[in-house]
Amino acid sequence: MTPAQLSIEGDPREPRVILRGDWSLRAEVPFFNDIAPQLAQAERVTLVGNELGVWDSSVATFLAALLRHCGGREIEVDQRDLPDGLRRLLALAFAVPARADARGEPAPKGYLEGVGEASLRLWHDLPAMVEFVGEIVLSCQRLLRGKARYRRQDLWYLIEDAGVRALPVVSLISFLVGTILAYMGAVQLALFGAEIYIADLVGLGMVREVGALMTGIILAGRTGAAYAAQLGTMQVNEEIDAFRTLGVSPIDYLVLPRMLALVSMVPLLTLYSGVVGCFAGMLVATGVFHIGMYEYFNETVNALSITHVLVGVMKGTVYGALVAFAGCLRGMQCGRSAQAVGEATTSAVVLGIVLITVAASLLTILFQKIGI
Amino acid sequence: MSAQPHIEVRNLSMGYGTTVVQRDLNFTINRGDIFVIMGGSGCGKSTLLKQMIGLNRPLAGSILFNGVDYWAASDEAKANLRRGFGVLFQAGALWSSLTLAENVALPLREFTRLPKKVVAEIVALKLALVGLAGFENYYPSEISGGMKKRAGLARAMALDPEILFFDEPSAGLDPLSSQRLDELILELRNGLGATVVLVTHELPSIFAIANNSVFLDAETRTMIAAGDPKLLLKEGPDQVRHFLQRGQP
C-alpha cells in the first residue's frame, strides 16, 4: 500500500487538488481542516483523482469537507477527474440537505440546573404517584365487584414467585439477623447477669420490627425490581399499549395480580422470618450463653403477645404493598429504551426502600402514641 | 478483480437442536452482487443469514469468504472476516442509550485509530449518505422507524464493509421509503463496491436491485432454485415463478 498523498498545485486562485496513493480508514489520511488555509484565495478548485489507488470513505470524508468548505464560500469545484463511484457517493451525501434545525452537542448541565431539574421531577412525580394509587383503588373496586379482568394462572404464578421462591433468601437473612441480635443483646445483658432476657429481645425485635423490615427490603430487591423490569420491558415492546387498545386495563391485568400476590404473601413471609430469627436466637443462647432450650422457649412465648405478632404482620403487609406499588409504578412509567428499563428497576428498588423506611418510622411512632 | 467467488456456501445444513431447517444448500455470490435470500415465511431465511454473519454455527457444511472457511478459521481470522461485514438488523438494532452519531462512531472508535475530529467527519458523511445529515445528536427513540433503518445502515457502513447484510430492510416501511432505501442500497453498492446480501420478500425490491438469489423451500427443506430473479421469473421452477408472480398465473 502506498500512503495517501495530497498536493495542491498551480495558481492559488485556481488550484488543482491532486489525490494520490491508497486512502484507507485504517491508515493515516490528510484532514481537510489542516489544508483549508491553502485554499484561502481560491475561486475555482479542480479535483484530480486519476492517480488514486484503493480508496474508501476516508477520501469521501475529506472531499465532503472540501465541498462543504467551498460551497459556503461560493468557490466553484470541478469534480470531473474523480473516479465514478466517488462522484456518485458525494452526490448522494449532498442529495438530502442537512436538517435545518440540526441539534448541536448538548451543553453540559450546570449544578444549579441539575438541582432544578431534579426538584421539578420530584414535583411532577408526586401527582403521578397519587394518580397511580387512585387507579389501583379503582381496580380493587372492580376486583371486588368481580369485573376486573386478569388471568388466574398469572396470579398463582406470581404468588409462587413472590412467596415460596423467596423462602431461601428470607431464611438466610432472618437467621443471620437473629444471630446478630442475640449476640449484641447478650453481651450487654450479661453485664447484669440477665442473659435470659435475650429471648425477649430477639423475640420482640424479630417479630415486631426487624422481621417485617428485612422481609420488606428483601422483597424490594427481589420482587419489586423484577416487577419494574417486567413491566418496563413490556412497555418497551408496546405490550402495554396492546392491552389498552384491546380495552383491557393494564392496571387490572398486570398491576393488580402483582399487588395481590405480594400483599398476600408478605404476612406469611414476615411470620416465617420472625420464627427463623427466634430460632437463631435460641441457638445462640443455648450454644454460647448456656441457657436451657426449654427456658428460652418459655421466655419467648411469655414475651410475645398476640398484639406484637399482629403489629409485625401488619407492618410487613404495609411494606409489601409499598414494594409492589413502587415496582409497578416505575415499570408502568418506564420509557421506551433499554436504558429506561435499567433506570426503572433501580428507581423501583430505591423508592421501595425509601417508602419502607418512612412507613417504618411513622408506624413505630403511631403505635407508640396509641400505646400498642 | 479475481474470478474467485466472494462468498461460497457448500453443502450447508442448518437447524436448531435436532430439527433441520434447511439442508444441502450450495450457492456462490460474486463480488459486487446484490444477492437475495427468498422464500416463504418460516423457511429459514433469517437463520441462513445468521449463519452467514457468524452468529449461529451451521449443523454441517461450510461458508467461505474469499476462499476462507469461516467456521473452520481461528478466532482471530474470524474476527478479521467479521470486520469486513456490515449488518443491518430488522429493526435497526441501534443502541438506545447512544445518539445516532455515537452509534455510527462506535465501530470506528473500536477498530480504527482515527483522531476524534476525523471520526466526527466520517460520522457526518455516513449520516449524510443515508439522508440523516443534522441528526447527529438525536437518540434512536426520537426518530421514526424508517429513519432508524437508515441510521442502522449508516452504522453498518461505518467501517466500509466488503459485504453488507440486510435482514428485511424494507419490512415496516411505506412503498416510497422502501423504494428509496432500495435506491440507496444500489447507490452505495456502486459507490463503495460492496457485495450485498439481503433477506426480503418484497417483490419490487427483488426485481429492482437483485442480480442473484437463492430460493428456499419450507416443505422440502432445501433450496429449489438459484440465480438472477428476473431469469427465475421466466424459466424457474413452477413454485418459484408462482412466488415471484404473487400467486397470479
Complex ipTM: 0.72
Asked if A103 lies within 8 A of B137 by C-beta distance, the reply is yes
pLDDT at A131 over 70: yes
Q: For B22-60, what is each residue's pLDDT tens digit?
A: 888 888 898 888 999 988 887 888 888 888 888 888 888
Amino acid at A310: L
| Nearest CB partner across the interface for B96, out of A33, A100, A338 | A338
> From B83, which residue of chain A is nearest by alpha-carbon distance?
A26
Asked if A99 lies within 8 A of B191 by C-beta distance, the reply is no
**Residues pairing with B36 in the sheet:** B198, B213
Q: What is the DSSP string of B117-173?
A: HHHHHHHHHHHHHTT-TT-TT--GGGS-HHHHHHHHHHHHTTT--SEEEEESTTTT-
| Nearest CB partner across the interface for A88, out of B108, B117, B190 | B190
Among residues A222, A296, A303, which one has the least CA distance to residue A266?
A: A222
If you ran DSSP here, which 8-state letter would residue B86 be given?
E
Radius of gyration of chain B (CA): 18
Amino acid at B30: N
B34: Cβ contacts below 8 Å, ≥ 6 apart: B185, B186, B189, B195, B196, B198, B209, B210, B211, B212
pLDDT at A365 over 60: yes
Chain B residues with CB-CB distance to A64 below 8 A: 121, 124-125, 128
> From B194, which residue of chain A is nearest by alpha-carbon distance?
A56
Among residues A315, A341, A346, A349, which one has the least CA distance to residue A224?
A: A349
**Signed CA dihedral, A205, A209, A215, A218: sign only:** negative
**Chain B residues 33-92 with a CB less than 8 Å from chain A:** none
Average pLDDT (A345-349) is 95
Chain B residues with CB-CB distance to A55 below 8 A: none
**What's the gap between Cα A140 and its chain centre?**
27
Chain A touched by B116 (CB under 8 Å): no
pLDDT at B248 over 70: no
Min Cα distance A24 → chain B (Å) is: 9
Chain B residues with CB-CB distance to A33 below 8 A: 117
Asked if B188 lies within 8 A of A92 by C-beta distance, the reply is yes
Q: For B82-124, what is each residue's pLDDT tens digit?
A: 888 888 888 778 888 788 999 998 888 877 888 888 888 889 8
Chain A residues with CB-CB distance to B138 below 8 A: 103
Coil, helix or strand at residue B235:
helix
Asked if A25 lies within 8 A of B160 by C-beta distance, the reply is yes
10 Å CB burial of residue A335 (0-12, 13-18, 19+) is middle
Q: For B144-189, what is each residue's pLDDT tens digit?
A: 888 888 898 889 888 888 898 988 887 777 788 788 888 888 888 8
| Nearest CB partner across the interface for B125, out of A33, A88, A93 | A93
Distances (CA, A) of B42 to A125, B45, B216: 46, 7, 10
Q: For A239-282, what is each residue's pLDDT tens digit?
A: 888 888 777 889 999 999 999 999 999 999 999 999 999 999 99
Confidence category of residue B249, pLDDT binned at 50, 70, 90: low
Q: For A86-103, what is each residue's pLDDT tens digit?
A: 888 888 888 777 777 777
Asked if A103 lies within 8 A of B134 by C-beta distance, the reply is yes
